[in-house]
């Protein structure tokens, strides 16, 4: 198996008196597409937010590339942030900037590349995610939902990250668009050697592209592994997720 | 990442070619030097890029190669690569699946066109506001025939938030206005030995003009923005659409409670501002010109005819109507992107303050002509 990229260990998260994660652990290996799955309110987005340092767990540790993200110096944290890309659920494109400027911003801030090369790179990223060339000049408010996701993915890929976090990448897309997006992510993983961590509800995504996943429920990780491994575990929530939702309600 | 070796480019001239000897990491953070040297280089012979010694590369390396080999190709010198590997090709094929084409930014129009367009937008804006007013009044008239649809609870809520909660800021502002007016005029009046006229000055100017205007401006800044932001946020979360589908007219639920509440409460706030403002002036009169409080109040009863006070108060509902209508109208204009809420909140405050001042000027001219 490939080396471990992310390791979450005994994470406990509380919002006030409300326990979200009761000592959960998971490991994510290099070059795999890993999904966090669970019903709404199961804390899967919260776990993702903890991995990308938007929230801190009450206890437990998260190691990314072998470093404990709770004990990073400012420059180490900054360094780490440049090695990952994050796609937010609603895109979170900066609404005052065009798509091209949204992507170019990262190059302007973090590299010393000349403007013509930045322009070239922005065009490439837009092309890679399958946006039409003229969208470089459009503002986020002028894009459709699917285009916003693609533009946000292009921005997440700007710095050639090793690690890609996706928060519900296919939510709000039509079924065809969702499958295309899945294929795009798989292609990028294969070609760029990315490690992809995603939060998703989409069972088709799980069937099609996800290598391993963790199913969160009852504040715990109910099962972790490939689809076959998880299906072998006997638990009512797993049955609920995979039998009834995937194959229509039986009985 | 920072410890990576810098990308280097050595240019060797052979008999038939320029040979680019590429070494190091051709990645985002280490390419800038190579890019500058390529930028200043003008080829005179065909080019060979030897990339055997590159140990790491990413999309910026590929983009750099592609950009400059295209540029040199335009000048008539072809590039060939020595030592390319499968991984280079894979990334290249991902990044350049089809021929690169340039897109031009949207065409800029000339100034005549832009002035015309702005004018057109402005007229459309007025049109939309009239549209809003018309529909709002129809809804209002309809609700008069069905008094049970009037939102009394919402009205009382807005009386508290837009009126009662504004008392402290209005107290401070009007007190300071009273102090400033007294201070400035007392110096002038003392030159003529007419200190006592300070009472007339403060009484009339505050109750007729300054207190209503200051109160209205403070409320415009405070409530017009709040109304726009509240309604705008509801628009963004589609609450307004939800109301419409349930058959609740948003103007009835959101506009009129705010308008009515503000029309009821603004005259009261002006009355409050009158008292505090005159009190502020009274303090300055007693400290600067030894005019006792009793003298001041005695003089005030004679010097301030009731009509000035009534005119001041009567402006309240008009100002309130303008502020509340502009604030709510701008709220409904908010569209689904996050930027627009800030934009329309700003517009709403600017419009409300302007309309208040314009309306006050109109009153001033009208009432003077009527000799009131």
Distance CA B211, CA B205 (A): 8
The DSSP bridge pattern shows strands B79-82 and B47-57 to be parallel
What pLDDT was estimated at residue A250? 41
Verify that B260 and B342 share a domain, yes or no: yes
Q: What are phi and psi of B106, to 5 degrees?
A: -55, 145
Distance CA A42, CA A87 (A): 20
pLDDT digit string, tens, across residues A194-204: 999 999 888 88
Mutate to test the interface with B, among A101, A114, A192 (most CBs of B within 10 A): A114
The DSSP bridge pattern shows strands A33-38 and A212-217 to be parallel
Verify that B150 and B13 share a domain, yes or no: no
Q: Do the beta carbons of residue A35 and residue A7 sit within 8 Å?
A: no
When CB atoms are compared, the residue of B64, B100, B338 closest to A117 is B64
Please list every residue in chain B whose beta carbon sits closer than 8 Å to the beta carbon of residue A79.
1-2
Verify that B65 and B205 share a domain, yes or no: no
- State whether residue A114 sits within 8 Å of chain B by CB: yes
Question: Measured in Å, how far apart are chain B's first and last C-alpha atoms?
Answer: 79
Please list every residue in chain A whose beta carbon sits closer than 8 Å to the beta carbon of residue B90.
191
Q: What are the residues facing A6 on neighbouring strands?
A: A28, A64
On whether residue B105 sits in a domain, the answer given is no
* Residues ≥6 apart with Cβ < 8 Å to A166: A86, A87, A185, A196, A197, A198, A199, A200
What H or E segment, with its residue span, contains residue A212? strand A212-217
* Mean pLDDT across B269-277: 96
The first and second tokens of residue B322, run together, are 């303008």
On whether residue B1 sits in a domain, the answer given is no
Q: Residue B329: which pLDDT band, with cuts at 50, 70 and 90? A: very high
Verify that B297 and B155 share a domain, yes or no: yes
* Mean pLDDT across A156-184: 89
Q: Do the beta carbons of residue B217 and residue B364 sit within 8 Å?
A: no
State the residue for tokens 């100017």.
Answer: B205
On whether residue B211 sits in a domain, the answer given is yes
Please list every residue in chain A whose beta carbon sits closer than 8 Å to the beta carbon of residue B59.
121, 124-125, 160
Q: Residue B91: which pLDDT band, with cuts at 50, 70 and 90? A: confident
What pLDDT was estimated at residue B4? 57
Q: Which of A39, A11, A41 is nearest to A25 (CA)?
A: A11
What pLDDT was estimated at residue A28? 93
What's the burial of A81, exposed, middle or buried (CB within 10 Å: 0-12/13-18/19+)?
Answer: middle
On whether residue B111 sits in a domain, the answer given is no
Q: Residue B2: which pLDDT band, with cuts at 50, 70 and 90? A: very low
CB atoms within 10 A of CB B238: 12
pLDDT digit string, tens, across residues B249-259: 889 889 999 99
pTM score of the predicted model = 0.69
Verify that B213 and B129 share a domain, yes or no: yes
When CB atoms are compared, the residue of A113, A140, A160 closest to B337 is A140
pLDDT digit string, tens, across residues B40-56: 888 888 888 888 888 88
Distance CA A37, CA A213 (A): 7
Among residues B39, B60, B95, the one where a domain terminates is: B95
Please list every residue in chain B whose beta carbon sits closer than 8 Å to the beta carbon of residue A159.
28
What pLDDT was estimated at residue A241? 78
Identify the CATH number of the domain in which residue B27 sits: 3.30.750.24
- If contacts are CB pairs under 8 Å, which of residues 44-73 in chain B contact chain A? 58-60, 63-64, 66-67
Verify that B174 and B269 share a domain, yes or no: yes
On whether residue B112 sits in a domain, the answer given is no
On whether residue B24 sits in a domain, the answer given is yes
Verify that B90 and B123 share a domain, yes or no: no
- How many domains, in total, are found in chain B? 2
- State whether residue A94 sits within 8 Å of chain B by CB: no
* Mean pLDDT across B321-326: 96
Please indicate whether residue B161 or residue B20 has the higher confidence score (pLDDT): B161
When CB atoms are compared, the residue of B60, B105, B338 closest to A121 is B60
On whether residue B287 sits in a domain, the answer given is yes
What pLDDT was estimated at residue B122? 93
Verify that B290 and B173 share a domain, yes or no: yes
pLDDT above 60: residue B1: no
Please list every residue in chain B whose beta carbon sits closer than 8 Å to the beta carbon of residue A124.
59, 63, 95-96
pLDDT above 80: residue A159: yes
What pLDDT was estimated at residue B176? 96
User: Order of strands, edge to edge, in the sheet holding A67-68?
Assistant: A18-29, A4-15, A59-64, A67-68
pLDDT, chain B, mean: 89
Verify that B81 and B129 share a domain, yes or no: no
Nearest CA distance, A190 vs chain B (angstrom): 10
Question: Is the Cβ pair A134, B29 closer than 8 Å?
Answer: no
* Residues ≥6 apart with Cβ < 8 Å to B45: B13, B16, B17, B18, B77
Q: Do the beta carbons of residue A179 and residue A204 sit within 8 Å?
A: yes
- State whether residue B342 sits within 8 Å of chain A by CB: no
pLDDT above 50: residue A124: yes
* Residues ≥6 apart with Cβ < 8 Å to B241: none
pLDDT above 90: residue B29: no
Distance CA A194, CA A160 (A): 9
When CB atoms are compared, the residue of A113, A133, A136 closest to B31 is A113
The first and second tokens of residue B282, run together, are 């009274």
Nearest CA distance, B343 vs chain A (angstrom): 11
The first and second tokens of residue B285, run together, are 């009169």
Verify that B187 and B296 share a domain, yes or no: yes
Verify that B70 and B210 share a domain, yes or no: no
Among residues B80, B95, B110, the one where a domain terminates is: B95
| Closest A-chain CA to B340 | A95
The boundaries of the domain holding residue B80 are: 8-95
On whether residue B245 sits in a domain, the answer given is yes
* Residues ≥6 apart with Cβ < 8 Å to B39: A114, A116
């Amino acid at each position: 198996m490939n080396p471990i990229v992310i390791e979450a260990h005994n994470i406990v998260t509380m919002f006030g008196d409300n326990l979200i994660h009761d000592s959960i652990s998971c490991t994510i290996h290099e070059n795999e597409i890993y999904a966090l799955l669970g019903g709404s309110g199961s804390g899967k987005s919260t776990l993702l937010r903890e991995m990308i340092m938007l929230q801190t767990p009450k206890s437990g540790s998260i190691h990314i590339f072998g470093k404990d993200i709770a004990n990073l110096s400012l420059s180490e944290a900054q360094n780490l942030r440049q090695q990952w890309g994050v796609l937010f659920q609603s895109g979170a494109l900066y609404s005052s900037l065009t798509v091209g400027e949204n992507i170019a911003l990262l190059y302007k801030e973090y590299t010393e590349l000349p403007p013509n090369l930045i322009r070239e790179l922005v065009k490439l990223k837009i092309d890679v995610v399958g946006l039409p060339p003229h969208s470089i000049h459009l503002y986020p408010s002028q894009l459709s939902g699917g285009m916003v996701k693609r533009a946000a993915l292009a921005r997440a890929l700007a710095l050639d990250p090793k690690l890609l976090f996706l928060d519900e990448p296919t939510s709000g897309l039509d079924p065809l668009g969702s499958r295309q997006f899945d294929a795009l992510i798989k292609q990028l993983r294969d070609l760029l050697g990315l490690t992809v961590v995603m939060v998703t509800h989409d069972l088709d995504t799980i069937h099609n592209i996800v290598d391993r996943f963790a199913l969160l429920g009852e504040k715990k990780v109910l099962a972790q592994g490939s689809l076959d491994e998880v299906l072998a575990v006997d638990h009512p929530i797993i049955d609920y997720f995979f039998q009834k939702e995937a194959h229509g309600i039986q009985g | 990442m920072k410890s990576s070796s810098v990308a280097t480019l050595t240019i060797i001239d052979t008999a038939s070619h320029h040979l680019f000897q590429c070494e190091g990491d051709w990645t985002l953070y280490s390419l800038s030097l190579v890019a500058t040297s390529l930028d200043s280089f003008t080829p005179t012979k065909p080019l060979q890029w030897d990339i055997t010694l590159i140990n790491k590369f990413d999309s910026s390396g590929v983009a750099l190669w592609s950009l400059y080999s295209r540029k040199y190709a335009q000048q008539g010198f072809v590039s060939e690569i020595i030592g390319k590997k499968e991984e280079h090709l894979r990334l290249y094929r991902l990044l350049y699946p089809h021929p690169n084409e340039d897109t031009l930014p949207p065409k800029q129009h000339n100034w005549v066109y832009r002035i015309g367009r702005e004018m057109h937008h402005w007229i459309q804006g007025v049109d939309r506001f009239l549209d809003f007013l018309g529909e709002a009044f129809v809804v209002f008239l309809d609700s008069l025939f069905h008094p049970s649809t009037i939102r009394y609870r919402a009205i009382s809520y807005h009386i508290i938030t837009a009126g009662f909660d504004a008392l402290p800021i209005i107290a401070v502002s009007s007190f300071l206005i009273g102090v400033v007016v007294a201070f400035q005029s007392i110096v002038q009046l003392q030159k003529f030995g007419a200190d006592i006229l300070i009472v007339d000055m403060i009484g009339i100017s505050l109750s007729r003009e300054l207190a209503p205007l200051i109160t209205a401006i403070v409320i415009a800044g405070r409530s017009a923005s709040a109304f726009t932001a509240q309604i705008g946020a509801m628009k963004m979360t589609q609450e307004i659409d939800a109301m419409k589908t349930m058959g609740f007219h948003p103007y009835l639920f959101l506009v009129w409670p705010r308008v009515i509440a503000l029309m009821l409460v603004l005259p009261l706030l002006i009355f409050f501002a009158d008292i505090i403002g005159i009190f502020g002036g009274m303090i300055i009169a007693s400290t600067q010109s030894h005019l006792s409080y009793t003298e001041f109040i005695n003089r005030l009863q004679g010097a301030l005819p009731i009509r000035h006070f009534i005119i001041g108060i009567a402006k309240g509902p008009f100002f309130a109507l303008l502020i509340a209508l502009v604030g709510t109208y701008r709220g409904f204009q908010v569209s689904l992107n996050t930027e627009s809420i800030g934009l329309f909140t700003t517009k709403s405050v600017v419009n409300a303050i302007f309309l208040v001042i314009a309306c006050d000027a109109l009153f001033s001219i009208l009432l003077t002509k009527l000799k009131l």
